[in-house]
Structure 1
Amino acid sequence: MSNTTSFIAWISIFKVGCSLCFPAENNIVINNSSSSLIVVPSNLRKQTKILDLSQNNIRKIHIQDFASLEWLRSLNLSINRISNVANASFRFNRKLECLDLSRNELSNIECHFLNNITSLKYFDISSNRFLSLTLGKAFGFLKNLEYLGLGSREAIKLQKNDLKEISRNQLQEVSIGLKYLSEYELGTLLVLRTTKLHIVLPSAGTSALLNKVLHDAFTSSDTLKLSNIDCSQTCDNYINGFKALGNVRISTLLLEDLTLSWLQFTSILVPIWDTRIKNLSIMNLTLNCIRSAFQHSDRVLETLIFRRIGSSVFYSKLSLYYDFFFKLKVVNLTISNSGMNIIACPEQGNYFKFIDLTDNSITSDFFFQDCKTLNLLETLILQQNELHQFYKLSTMTRYMKSLKHLDASQNKLTLDEKTNCLWTNSLKKLNLSSNRLTDLIFTCLPSNLEVLDVEKNNIYIVPQGVNNLEMLRELYLGSNKLVRLPECSNFRNLEILYVEGNSYQEPSSHFLQNCSRLTKLNAASNPFACTCHLRDFSRIKENTQVELVGWPESYQCIYPVNLRGTLLKDFYLSEVMCNPVLLLLIILSSITVLAVVMGLTCHFLDLPWYLRMIYQWTQVKRRVMKTDLQQLHENCVYHAFVSYSEQDSGWVKEQLLPNLEERENPFRICLHERHFIPGKGIIQNIISCIEKSYKSIFILSPNFVQSEWCHYELYFAQHRVLSEQSNNLILIVLEPIPQYMIPSKYYKLKSLMAKKTYLEWPVDKSKQRLFWANLQAAIGIKITAETEETLL
């Protein structure tokens, strides 16, 4: 089977174009194809390695055109109008390995410009206007050449000496266009030493000419590709040429671009079938209806491929159709891109091990149902058809006792209800990607599967308890609608898991605990929510030996918005934020430490003093509570009690007292130095004066906050305000007090200055009159006559 797979892959890329010689990654690529250029651009980057100038109007290559591109490795100049290439055009391009000059106007095949590029591996000068294919001596220096494309759009002759310059080189592939061949010397192609040979056959010519070409072509290499078999006018020369084949060397034959009738086709196919050829591929076949059975020898062909067959072939008699395709003695059969819509069960005794029916119109209603003759079939490929009923797909396989690989991808398969599907027990690999399947698919799978591909379906979850897939090693679930990762407990032997491009946001790394054999994981391109639930998964690359496909560039946060675009490898949340128990312990510990600190702070910041002040004020409050507010006003002796620092006494005596006591209606001002009663405690005097005064005026300055007694006076005055629910505090800022100068125990002063409007003493004399007016208005109260008499 490995030989069949390599053959099928090879025929699809028989000739690798120059532009594909090197991958684009790690190379500087410039593509100026189809740019209407008439000369080679002069501003090409010096580091260019791959340059495409195809499909332009360039007519000539000059010496200086590529002189600066010393790193150039691949150059495509095909489909231009180049008629001349200067001899030293590539002398500075010694690393050049690919050069395509096909489909131009070259007439001289000497190609002296090749002298400087001995590293060349790929060289194509086919479809030019050579009058002869006599290769110049420059070809003899191409010791590393692997691919050579030759050919002309002019009538040419081909002789042995024409190819002698490359006769000593072992090539991988040679392509020669002989569409306009007029004369051929027998044995010319035998000069070549090549593994693969592609011949574009002459469109016209004598039977003898085609006989010579085909004779040499079939004996010159291991693999032969023949193109341009056009029998729209006559086919006798081609038929005679194939019938004249004797012993052939080739084991693989590719026929491409055929236009002929069914009779002409079978007349060519029969002699080919009778040769030693093992692998036959027929592509781009335009064929009319099948009208007769195909009679061929009993020899078994290893591989037969039909690709892109004209649709009219399938509108013939079904019996002849079946006879042709499924009575063939072939081990590996491919019929692709050919419009087939029905297929019958082969007769007993067939040799089929591999059947590929890709890109047709086959439905599952009648396809191989109850077919018991495919006992040897190991691989069945049904990609890109019209299969709908998944249940019938399973029943189709139940008699295929050797089937190991089934590919039904890119169909329209559905499964609408839970059912017991009838599978063959031999099936190991199942590809159901690009269908319309849902979660129910996991109730209808063969038990011995080792590889399951259900990518690009409508699967939301993998149901728990899927216990019939113990042998599964590879599971592909990409591009579905998964909202969570599958439980690995369902697939204990799983080694490869692909779940990229789904809808889950917070996969946990714990799912790996039951996947002890997992070696490869693809979880890229999902809408990851970078939260605590994702924290362990984001460290998966560090914590496991599993190969993470697409890491790190395809693993990005989508939610929350502030983390969108962040790579998972850069996403981090601390243990504290994601562990509630640890967070609670830290909070409790912090509260305990804070309480201890606060206790110690209070101890060192005179907490006993505050307690004494509270006790004494409660005594005052008890007395105040016995007198109502009206009585308290009637008992006022002084208009205001003034609290100030001794350092500010000069301003009090020179400014404050004259403006309050020497007016027409003088205020009675209480001062500690005049009205404190000797022998009585200072605190009692303070409380007494505050109680007998309607207002309390505080002269604030840096000196004030340094005075211990001023603090007491402020303390009791503030508590009076709170007790009486009055507004009897007047603050006068004599000098600005910076916040840093106010001791911590004066926090009440800070609070008062923040909440209460205060008066500022203006230095400007013009503003002082307004200051006194505001102060007098703030004091404004009349003391009763009885009170005055008592005072006197």
Structure 2
Amino acid sequence: MASLIYWLFSVAFVLGAVQMASGYSYSNCIEDAYWKGTFKCVNREETKITNITKDLPSYTINLTISINHLGVIPDNSFGHLQKLEQLRLDRNNITTIGQFAFKNLLHLTSLNLSFNQISELNPAVFKDLHNLTFLSLTNNTLKRLPGGIFSTLLKLETLIMSQNHLNNFSEVAESVSHLVNLTKIDICFNNLTSLSHSNVSLPKSLTTLYLSRNNLSTLGCNQSFLENIKVLDLSYNQRLPTMAFEGVDLRRVSYLRLRSTSVKVMEFLNISNINAGHVDFSDMGLENDTELLCILLKEKNGESIKNVSLGSNKIVNLTNNILNQCPNITQALDLSHNKLRNISCLNFLDRQTMLKSVNLEHNHLTFLKSCKPPQMGNLTNITDLSYRYNRILSVGSYAFYRTPNITTLQLNINTIAYLDRKALMGLNKLETLRLDNNLLTDLFSETFEDTFNLKILNLRNNRISVIFNRTFHSLKNLNTLDLGGNKISHITPSGLDGLQSLSKFYLDGNNFQTIDTSLYRVFQDTLTVLDLQSNQFRFLKETYSSPFMNLSKLKDLKLDGQRPHGLTVLPKHFFRGLHSLKSLYLTNNNIFNLPPDAFDDLTGLHFLTLDNCCVGVTQLQPGIFKNLRNLTRLTVENMGIPNFTKEVFGNLTKLHILQLNRNVMQSIRLDALESLPKLHYLDIRNIPLSCTCENSLLQNWTVHNKNTQVVYLYNLPCPNQEKSRFHNFDTKVCYIDLEEYFFLSTAVVIFLFTVAPLLYVKLYWKMKYGYYVFISWFGEQWRRLREKEENCKYDAFISYNSSDEQWVMDQLIPNLEGNGSSFKLCLHHRDFELGRNIVDNIVSAVYSSRKTICVVSRNFLKSEWCSLEIQLASYRLFDEHRDVLLLVCLEQISERQVSCYHSMRKVMLKKTYLQWPSSDCTDPTQAQALFWNQLRRAIRSGSRQEAEEINNEVHEEEEPGNVDTHTSDEKYYLLT
């Protein structure tokens, strides 16, 4: 009853909700869960932009529409999105943009139209974009720019038109000449042959000009055309000669890139007024002219120069005096992408005592030899030293002794297999050390003995298998240690001693089988990030002491993807002690069962991901998330969850993002969703939600709720119904004529629940009897029985309970059918027709017999079938006035016992009945003989008058005192 009323009221609520405003879900876009007004509409395979934008709200600020098949952007495509500030339309195969496509987008500041097929632009296409500061047209097929194309973009700061087919720089210069805020133009990868221009000048605000990878053969501009440019990239214009710069004012250029051009460095420096220290000399063919360059630099710039870039010049050797003639380099020296094989303890830098940064990446170095003292003067100003992307196999002792003050040393992405125990000696100011992606197998206690100020140590992707005792004992200031991607199987008891300040510890991708106890012994007050993913942890029993007991400051724990079988079992109270944990990762772990108390200790958790963590169908236990009241994001993708219930998810009162996709539930209970008041983002893609009445309330909730975004709601399919969608499957059948039937159904239910008990108590047997009589009355059998009523087949039908069958067989049948009697009795076990309905057999027996003898006992009174038989006989007695009913009482039955059976009491009040003599009679034989004699006379009687005469004779034969059962043993038990 309660469930039905709840359903009816729920339906009423749903229909009322239909009148509400539209909900918070979109056809082809997803709103960022954390940034309101930011939408991504990516890879939707749409051909019309209106299909993407039509249901976006007016408050949209940041819109990304990428990787579609739009082709055309028609007029007023964003007419209702006038608050747009950033718009991306890249990778959409756009060929045409309508003149008024961006009409009224007065707040737009960034527009990205890159990677399309735009070959032509309407002159007025950007007319309304008065606040635009960034415009990208990269990777299109533009050949020309129409006049006035950027005339209204007075706030434009960055214009990117690289990878097009532009061939007329004059058009470009003219189109931007009036843009007083423009600071950067990128027109790389075009077909420009010169910078010739009409009587226009570049904006004074323009400081960055990228012109690489064109076909420039000359500059062709007037002397002052580039006077305000600070960053000029002319690289990969292979035909650009040295003389193209003659007379061109480059005094304000702070960075000039001339890589892969035909410019001769020496000639260029002689004819140009540029500061030589601002030229990037990379890839300018200086492998044999380095010393000459230094001389020229000193002549042009005096005793000091800020940066020197000599990368990609095929330099093979650096002699000790190669840079002696150079001015003092005060900042950085770049020697990357050369062919250096030996650097001899950086002896070539002996005179460069002011140098701060040295880049030796991408060379052919195979070793760093020992630089034991005494050596020449130390390079005390160098703070950054990089040897990345070389072929270094070994690093000798004191290899960096000449650079004692470096703070950042990068030795990563080499093949270092041998690191001398004293290789890092002297680096007591080192703060960042990169040794990742090498072939190191061992670390020793002396390895980091001098690097006691180290804060970041990266040893990822080596071949380390054991952490020996006191390996890190000197690293008291270390904040981040990355040992991921090695082969570490265990850590010796003192292996982590000394790491007093460690906050971030990465051990992922190793061979740990147990979580080392030293973790919570050493890091109980410092560790905030612990990465243990992709190890070999596996638990086979549910009892396991927590290895995180003392990690009270830990905020980020990764345990996902344990190899090869996953965690298998998540022990009870495994996370005990992690009260400060904010993020927990358990994906891809093949856990057989998540215990209900698995997350009880994680009261501060904000983010939990369990996707792909379990095996098969996952029955989440009620209360499993009961203590996660601070959780804001939950990912339970592809877990095989069959039910979404309030008992499981109802305590997540602060949940903001819920990712349920790729589970197996066919319905989602609405009360469970409504118990998540903060839910803002719901992903239920790839869930086989049935399009039936079971989900009608859910459908309405997803369509009309204002607070929760259901990801791609309008594309969610109905299983096995290709053309149907979940948001609009037909629910009319669920609420047919509600206004008309709501009152009627409620009234009927109330009536039934009120009247039914009364009818059951008072009229149960009359109703049941009436039902059977009704059926028989109209049946052919009924009519046949009434026609044969005067010519009965049996003398008597015996109605008795199975518990009294022994008496019937031993006493009744022999005395009525035998012993000289010729009565024909109807017995159900003998005379009922096989295969016939039992009710029809009873009706036939009653109406085919002149009498019905009811053998009454306490068990008889309890039998429903016996009650039916006496009911049918009573019908003939009371309604047809036929003397057909004889009662034989086998045992003493009090009036109180009979009073519960209304029909029986009514018969006994009107009819006499026979009492079988009890065993304590003085002469039981005489009493029984008298009983059988009177029963035979009663059966022979055929009318009401005959029955009355018999009764009178019986009463005359008895003396008054003999009526009392306690004063006569031989009386005839015929009681009224």
Class of the TM-score when normalised by the shorter of the 2 chains: 0.5 to 0.7
Q: Match for 2:64 among 24, 28, 40? A: 28
Q: Match for 2:458 among 389, 407, 412? A: 407
Question: Kindly tell me: are residues 118 and 526 of structure 1, through their superposed partners in 2, closer, same or farther at Cα, counting changes over 3 Å?
Answer: farther
Equivalent residues of 1:508, 1:537 under 8 A apart? no
Higher helix content, 1 or 2: 1
- The Cα of 1:61 is off from its aligned counterpart by 3.8
Query: Alpha-carbon deviations, 1:207-228, whole Å to 9, x = none?
Result: 342345585242x6xxx64432
Question: Among the aligned pairs, what percent are the same residue?
Answer: 14
* 2:191 corresponds to 1:191: no
Distance 2:189 2:846 in 1: 121
| Corresponding residue pairs, total | 610
> 3-state SS of the aligned residue for 2:391?
coil
- The Cα of 1:333 is off from its aligned counterpart by 1.1
Distance 1:558 1:52 in 2: 36
Distance 2:521 2:160 in 1: 58
Equivalent residues of 2:307, 2:331 under 8 A apart? yes
Distance 1:685 1:425 in 2: 95
Q: CA RMSD in A?
A: 6.1
Distance 1:140 1:685 in 2: 117
Query: Alpha-carbon deviations, 1:642-697, whole Å to 9, x = none?
Result: 9xxxxxxxxx9xx979995xxxxxxxx2425xx89xxxxx9589989x9xxxx999
- The Cα of 1:299 is off from its aligned counterpart by 0.7
Query: Alpha-carbon deviations, 1:494-530, whole Å to 9, x = none?
Result: 35444455555887997777345x3632436455979
> 3-state SS of the aligned residue for 1:358?
coil
Counterpart of 1:381 in structure 2 is 434
Question: Kindly tell me: are residues 225 and 303 of structure 1, through their superposed partners in 2, closer, same or farther at Cα, counting changes over 3 Å?
Answer: same
Distance 2:369 2:858 in 1: 128
- The Cα of 1:464 is off from its aligned counterpart by 4.1
1:54-93 alignment, distance < 5 Å: 61-63=120-122, 83-90=143-150
Equivalent residues of 1:412, 1:435 under 8 A apart? yes
Question: Kindly tell me: are residues 354 and 684 of structure 1, through their superposed partners in 2, closer, same or farther at Cα, counting changes over 3 Å?
Answer: closer
- The Cα of 1:259 is off from its aligned counterpart by 1.9
* Structure 1: gaps (5+ residues): 1-21, 576-600, 610-615, 643-651, 661-668, 677-681, 721-743, 747-786
* 2:395 corresponds to 1:343: yes
* 2:308 corresponds to 1:228: no
Counterpart of 1:207 in structure 2 is 266
Letter in 2 for 1:246: N
* 2:545 corresponds to 1:489: no
Q: Match for 2:216 among 154, 158, 172? A: 154
1:697-716 alignment, distance < 5 Å: 698=869
Counterpart of 2:851 in structure 1 is 671
Question: Kindly tell me: are residues 125 and 670 of structure 1, through their superposed partners in 2, closer, same or farther at Cα, counting changes over 3 Å?
Answer: same
Equivalent residues of 1:255, 1:282 under 8 A apart? yes
Question: Kindly tell me: are residues 433 and 405 of structure 1, through their superposed partners in 2, closer, same or farther at Cα, counting changes over 3 Å?
Answer: same
1:124-163 alignment, distance < 5 Å: 124-126=186-188, 130=192, 132-133=194-195, 140-141=202-203, 143=205, 145=206, 147-150=208-211, 153-156=215-218, 161-163=223-225
- The Cα of 1:356 is off from its aligned counterpart by 0.9
Distance 1:386 1:204 in 2: 42
- The Cα of 1:435 is off from its aligned counterpart by 1.9
Distance 1:118 1:629 in 2: 125
Distance 1:53 1:120 in 2: 23
Counterpart of 1:423 in structure 2 is 473
Question: Kindly tell me: are residues 335 and 212 of structure 1, through their superposed partners in 2, closer, same or farther at Cα, counting changes over 3 Å?
Answer: farther
- The Cα of 1:420 is off from its aligned counterpart by 6.0
> 3-state SS of the aligned residue for 1:396?
coil
Equivalent residues of 1:434, 1:455 under 8 A apart? yes
Equivalent residues of 2:574, 2:598 under 8 A apart? no
* 2:101 corresponds to 1:41: no
Distance 2:358 2:446 in 1: 27
* 2:190 corresponds to 1:123: no
* Structure 2: gaps (5+ residues): 1-38, 43-61, 72-90, 103-109, 540-544, 611-630, 661-667, 673-756, 766-799, 829-839, 892-899, 903-934, 941-976
Distance 1:408 1:205 in 2: 43
* TM-score, normalised by the number of residues in structure 2: 0.50
Which of structures 1 and 2 has the larger relative contact order (alpha carbons within 8 angstroms, sep 6+)? 2
Distance 2:143 2:359 in 1: 40
Equivalent residues of 1:507, 1:537 under 8 A apart? no
Moved more, 248-257 or 348-357: 248-257
Query: Alpha-carbon deviations, 1:45-64, whole Å to 9, x = none?
Result: 9579422237x7x8x64436
- The Cα of 1:409 is off from its aligned counterpart by 0.8
* 2:618 corresponds to 1:432: no
Counterpart of 1:108 in structure 2 is 169
> 3-state SS of the aligned residue for 1:336?
coil
- The Cα of 1:490 is off from its aligned counterpart by 3.1
> 3-state SS of the aligned residue for 2:362?
strand
Letter in 2 for 1:203: S
Equivalent residues of 1:401, 1:424 under 8 A apart? yes
Q: Match for 1:562 among 639, 642, 655? A: 642
* 2:355 corresponds to 1:275: no
Counterpart of 2:510 in structure 1 is 457
Query: Alpha-carbon deviations, 1:383-420, whole Å to 9, x = none?
Result: 1111123xx255422343433432101222212x9866
Letter in 2 for 1:230: G
Question: Kindly tell me: are residues 89 and 294 of structure 1, through their superposed partners in 2, closer, same or farther at Cα, counting changes over 3 Å?
Answer: same
* 2:585 corresponds to 1:523: yes
Distance 1:268 1:564 in 2: 74
Query: Alpha-carbon deviations, 1:706-759, whole Å to 9, x = none?
Result: 9999xxx99x99x99xxxxxxxxxxxxxxxxxxxxxxx999xxxxxxxxxxxxx
Equivalent residues of 1:63, 1:90 under 8 A apart? no
Distance 1:283 1:232 in 2: 13
1:601-616 alignment, distance < 5 Å: none
Q: Match for 2:824 among 638, 646, 661? A: 638
> 3-state SS of the aligned residue for 1:113?
helix
- The Cα of 1:456 is off from its aligned counterpart by 2.9
Letter in 1 for 2:233: S
> 3-state SS of the aligned residue for 1:562?
coil
Letter in 2 for 1:258: N
- The Cα of 1:232 is off from its aligned counterpart by 6.2
- The Cα of 1:190 is off from its aligned counterpart by 1.5
Query: Alpha-carbon deviations, 1:151-193, whole Å to 9, x = none?
Result: 65333258873435746xxx6x44344753314357822134x
Q: Match for 1:544 among 592, 600, 604? A: 604
- The Cα of 1:350 is off from its aligned counterpart by 3.8
Distance 1:160 1:268 in 2: 38
Letter in 1 for 2:439: E
Distance 2:306 2:441 in 1: 39
> 3-state SS of the aligned residue for 2:337?
strand
Distance 1:74 1:706 in 2: 105
Letter in 1 for 2:577: N
